[in-house]
Amino acid sequence: MKPLSIQRLFISLVFLMGWGAVLGGEAYESPVRAGAFQKLIVQDQGRLKPLDTFARSQLLLYHSKSTIDRQKAIDWLLELMIAPQAAYQRKVFKVREKEAILGLGLGLDPESRYSFAELSQAIRERQESLNKLVEKGEGERTRAEGQLVTLYLKALRYLALSRSLTGLIPDISVSNPELAEAIGFEVGKGYTYRQFLEVRGAMATELESLRGRQEGDAISPKESALIDLVQQLNVKLADRSSQILKIVMPEGEQEEATWFAPWELLDGRQLTPWQLDRLRELETIVAAFYADGLAQVSQEVDPLVDAVNANVKLKGELFYNKANFFRNSIVFYILAFLLLLVSYVFTSKWVGRLSFASLIVGFALHLVGLLFRIYIMGRPPVSTLYESIVFVGWVLVLLSIILEAVRHDTLGLLVGSVAGTALHFIGFSYSAEGDTMKMLVAVLNSNFWLGTHVLTITIGYGVALTAGLVAHVYLLLRLIFPARRRWAREAFKVSYGICLVAVFFTTFGTILGGIWGDQSWGRFWGWDPKENGALLIVLWLLIVIHGRLAGRLKELGFSVALALTPISVALAWFGVNLLQVGLHSYGFDDGVATNLYYFCVGEAVFAIGSGLIIQLRTRLQRAPIKN
């Protein structure tokens, strides 16, 4: 076969694999199949979203993945709410904190996976001590105690989630014909807790007659059935605190109004006709799945979805969830890096072109994912720490593609594939916190400033990181290929040019931030930690450029200093959220401090250590050889 044919075959295989992952889905067998159920709208964290998105965010909280045992998140959620006893046996909880597991007296699982059944048994045995830990202040707990409390609260939330629809499940029956006739029900037929609330007057009459019994009187079959029925209702009533699933829409304008969980409306209040109709519609859907886990409910779900009086991008968000653009994007970034290594080994230009094509495909998927987020949320995708990570990764890859298109020397391929992969992985770690499309905090509630200051400063982060990464490449070239000075010199020129662009974006973004501060809080500058972080990046870049222009920093010194730039970016980007002070603290902070510390130390050791080694080797080579 001719080389060109091999090339075409390989390209076809790569694209088929990639788009098969995007458009297709892994076949699986599940005891339930949610189908149209995923389209129901819920309110969660202040936002209206498809139930499919809610299911994914919930599963991520426990499992750190959006699938489990080849089961989709929405199917897992339906199973959890309709057939909880089966779901309790699934090893959903991904627990990496050994102290928490050992604190519960459980053995360490090789995959760090545990079922709710395992955890609940251990929790029941230590209920009193766990309650005391919860009552302790956060500052009074040890690290191990904090992990144990977190796991305990997760288990309680999981239990509450599993009981969300129990008031609408038709699993309560009346066994006695006389009692059934008295309250107007059929013998042996399953009814919901909500339906029993409709006949509470008749139930109260029967209970009153029961209270009038004389001591020692024999219990009649009717009275025995009534006692059994009351016990069943009391068991249901214990679930009334399960109010996580806000799935009952209010009447009128629904986007800003508060939605209801089913159990909120089953507290004995007088329901409006609207509320009653919505509960009955949900009841019909739940009954269908309770009878058959593979039921088709499109006819029941579609009217409920159509009744939503709010701006919800339902189809777009469902497609975004299914396509999984960012996870498929990283596949092509990794493939681009591997192909680049192959091209280095075999010095093959067409493999290098394949690497470039793969990087472009990954970038395109990355871009489409961002565009979908903009469409769904109606704002620039830079309002949370997770979104900024994804966006900065896209900026890095964009600059790398431009660099490669201009230079054709694989420098852009190396930087783009490595940076795109690394930032995607960092983003995935944050996406495990739950829904990544949350409502804006008050400080960011302005599309104008999101589209100017925040977007500009975030682009500045990306450009500054790109400059730092190219400086890393320079140092690696000087370390590994000391004789190829031309390669290193070219990398130096590129890093210097990108550094100038980074100064523009970070400086302009910081100035816009000051204008924003003046408009929002009446002061241009308040030495807020985020403001200090942005200023830190600008000053560092200016120092590096000034050192070069003044002749204080030669080629090597400039590259070492520029390779330290990612530290300043990381401190401004992630470090400010660790302080939990200031008007700009709106990101995640759990578990970041240790990783940030290791990153900063590692970057400093690499940059400074590389510079010292290169300088020492250069001096030794120049030193005269003594006989």
Q: Mind listing the pLDDT tens digit for each residue in 311-352? A: 899 999 999 999 999 999 999 999 999 999 999 998 888 999
Q: Would you say residue 303 lies in a domain?
A: no
| Model confidence pLDDT, tens digit, residues 557-592 | 999 999 999 999 999 888 776 655 444 444 444 557
Strands 71-72 and 93-94: unpaired
The confidence score (pLDDT) of residue 441 equals 62
Q: Are 499 and 466 in contact (CB under 8 A)?
A: no
Beta bridge partners of 50: 41
| Least confident residue range of 58-72, 184-198, 233-247, 424-438 | 424-438
Sign of CA dihedral 470, 472, 476, 482: positive
The band of 216, judged by pLDDT with boundaries at 50, 70 and 90, is: low
The confidence score (pLDDT) of residue 596 equals 87
Same domain for 520 and 582, yes or no, is yes
Helical segments of 314-384, H only = 314-323, 325-346, 349-377
The confidence score (pLDDT) of residue 209 equals 77
Q: Are 329 and 420 in contact (CB under 8 A)?
A: yes
| Spatial separation of the C-alpha atoms in residues 478 and 616, rounded to whole Å | 12
Q: How many CB atoms lie within 10 A of CB 431?
A: 21
What average pLDDT does the chain have? 87
Residue from 146, 60, 58, 114 nearest 591 by CA? 146
Q: What is the mean pLDDT of residues 98-109?
A: 89
| Residue 581 vs residue 613, higher pLDDT | 613
Domain C-terminal end among 185, 209, 241: 241
Same domain for 220 and 365, yes or no, is no
Q: What is the mean pLDDT of residues 216-222?
A: 78
Same domain for 627 and 503, yes or no, is yes
Q: Are 230 and 301 in contact (CB under 8 A)?
A: no
Instruction: Count H helices and E strands in the chain, helices first.
Output: 28, 6
Q: Would you say residue 266 lies in a domain?
A: no
Token digits of residue 514? 């000051």
Q: How many CB atoms lie within 10 A of CB 190?
A: 15
| Spatial separation of the C-alpha atoms in residues 586 and 180, rounded to whole Å | 57
Domain C-terminal end among 241, 271, 305: 241
| Spatial separation of the C-alpha atoms in residues 269 and 272, rounded to whole Å | 9
Q: Are 120 and 88 in contact (CB under 8 A)?
A: yes
Q: Would you say residue 291 lies in a domain?
A: no
| Spatial separation of the C-alpha atoms in residues 247 and 278, rounded to whole Å | 10
| Spatial separation of the C-alpha atoms in residues 538 and 507, rounded to whole Å | 6
Same domain for 361 and 467, yes or no, is no
Q: Would you say residue 53 lies in a domain?
A: yes
Residue from 473, 548, 472 nearest 503 by CA? 548
Our count of domains for the chain comes to 4
Token digits of residue 58? 């919930």
Token digits of residue 616? 């020492």
The band of 46, judged by pLDDT with boundaries at 50, 70 and 90, is: confident
Same domain for 92 and 204, yes or no, is no
Residue from 396, 397, 319, 320 nearest 358 by CA? 397
Could you give phi then psi for residue 611, rounded to 5 degrees? -60, -45
By the 10 Å C-beta count (0-12 exposed, 13-18 middle, 19+ buried), 26 is classed as exposed
Residue from 443, 437, 441, 446 nearest 313 by CA? 437
DSSP labels, 243-290? ---B-BPPSS--SSSPPB-HHHHTSS----HHHHHHHHHHHHHHHHHH
The confidence score (pLDDT) of residue 430 equals 83
Q: Which run of H or of E encompasses 146?
A: helix 143-162
- The yes-or-no verdict on residue 622 having pLDDT over 60 is yes
Sign of CA dihedral 456, 462, 464, 467: negative
The confidence score (pLDDT) of residue 45 equals 86
Q: 480-488 long-range contacts, Cβ below 8 Å, gap at least 24?
A: 482/614, 482/617
| Spatial separation of the C-alpha atoms in residues 405 and 540, rounded to whole Å | 29
The confidence score (pLDDT) of residue 359 equals 97
Q: How many CA atoms lie within 13 A of 228 on its CB side?
A: 14
Highest mean pLDDT among 7-21, 176-190, 574-588: 176-190
Token digits of residue 397? 């890859």
Sign of CA dihedral 584, 587, 593, 599: negative
Same domain for 493 and 587, yes or no, is yes
Q: What is the mean pLDDT of residues 232-244?
A: 92
Q: Would you say residue 449 lies in a domain?
A: no
| Spatial separation of the C-alpha atoms in residues 246 and 263, rounded to whole Å | 10
Same domain for 182 and 54, yes or no, is no
Q: Would you say residue 236 lies in a domain?
A: yes
Cα 564–chain centre separation: 29
| Model confidence pLDDT, tens digit, residues 250-297 | 998 888 889 999 999 998 889 999 999 999 999 999 999 999 999 999
Q: Would you say residue 16 lies in a domain?
A: no
| Model confidence pLDDT, tens digit, residues 116-162 | 999 999 999 999 999 999 998 877 888 888 889 999 999 999 999 99
| Spatial separation of the C-alpha atoms in residues 197 and 183, rounded to whole Å | 11
| Residue 311 vs residue 364, higher pLDDT | 364
Query: Could you tell me the CA-to-CA distances from 441 to 192, 430, 463, 561, 587 in Å, in that order?
Result: 40, 18, 26, 36, 10
Which residues form the domain of 480? 463-627
| Spatial separation of the C-alpha atoms in residues 134 and 130, rounded to whole Å | 6
Token pair 């900063």 is found at 600
Query: Computed over its alpha carbons, how large is the radius of gyration of the chain?
Result: 30
- The yes-or-no verdict on residue 13 having pLDDT over 50 is no
The confidence score (pLDDT) of residue 379 equals 85
Same domain for 113 and 195, yes or no, is no
Highest mean pLDDT among 211-215, 434-438, 530-534: 530-534
Same domain for 163 and 189, yes or no, is no
The band of 447, judged by pLDDT with boundaries at 50, 70 and 90, is: low
Same domain for 183 and 205, yes or no, is yes
Let me know how long the chain is: 627
For the entire predicted model, the pTM comes to: 0.86
Query: Could you tell me the CA-to-CA distances from 174 to 197, 280, 477 in Å, in that order?
Result: 14, 21, 80
- The yes-or-no verdict on residue 101 having pLDDT over 70 is yes
| Spatial separation of the C-alpha atoms in residues 464 and 495, rounded to whole Å | 10
The band of 5, judged by pLDDT with boundaries at 50, 70 and 90, is: very low
Same domain for 384 and 342, yes or no, is yes
Domain C-terminal end among 167, 198, 214: 167
Same domain for 489 and 372, yes or no, is no
Q: Would you say residue 319 lies in a domain?
A: no
